[in-house]
Amino acid sequence: MAASTSDIARLRRMIGEPSETTYLYPDLAEALERWPLPDAVGLEPDVAAWAATYDVHAAAAEILADKASVAACEYDSADGGGMKQYRSQKFAHYMKLSRHHSARRHALSVQPAVAHGPTLIDAWIGNLAEVTDDYISV
């Protein structure tokens, strides 16, 4: 399912891009769709009845990190007009916002797979002492 217009508008506000000058609607929709979440009733994104739900904070953090990488390529000039300080602060500002949204993204949990079956008793284990017939060699 596609990202909703309200989610894209919210993402646009979070990244400080009120117009489509830098990021077009399809670009933001694609960024959102990289971060699907289980919906309100717990359905996973691969289920047909899933209601499109996306992690807007994770998408914002990704885009802001991208904006920071562009700002990092800009240079400071010694023009004396204060632009040097502005350019240096731009990268720091985008990274701060990226960290802000990264801290608010949804936590993902992974359930470990439990292997059922017989345990091999005579399996070799790294640096443990080996048991022989009558003694333990160290």
> What residue spans define the domains of the chain?
5-137
Residue of 114 and 121 predicted with greater confidence: 114
User: What confidence score (pLDDT) does residue 89 get?
Assistant: 83
d(CA 114, CA 108): 19
- Percent of the chain at pLDDT above 70? 71
The partner residues of 137 in beta bridges, in order of sequence, read 130
Instruction: Give me 32's structure tokens.
Output: 């959102």
Mean pLDDT across the stretch 103-110? 78
Which pLDDT band, with edges at 50, 70 and 90, does 32 fall under?
Answer: very high
d(CA 106, CA 108): 6
| DSSP states of 75-116 | -----SSSHHHHHHHHHHHHHHHHHHHHHTSPPP--PPPPPP
pLDDT in tens, 48-96: 898 889 999 999 999 999 998 888 777 666 665 555 566 778 888 899 9
Question: 4 Cβ partners below 8 Å, 6+ apart?
Answer: 52
Mean pLDDT of the chain: 80
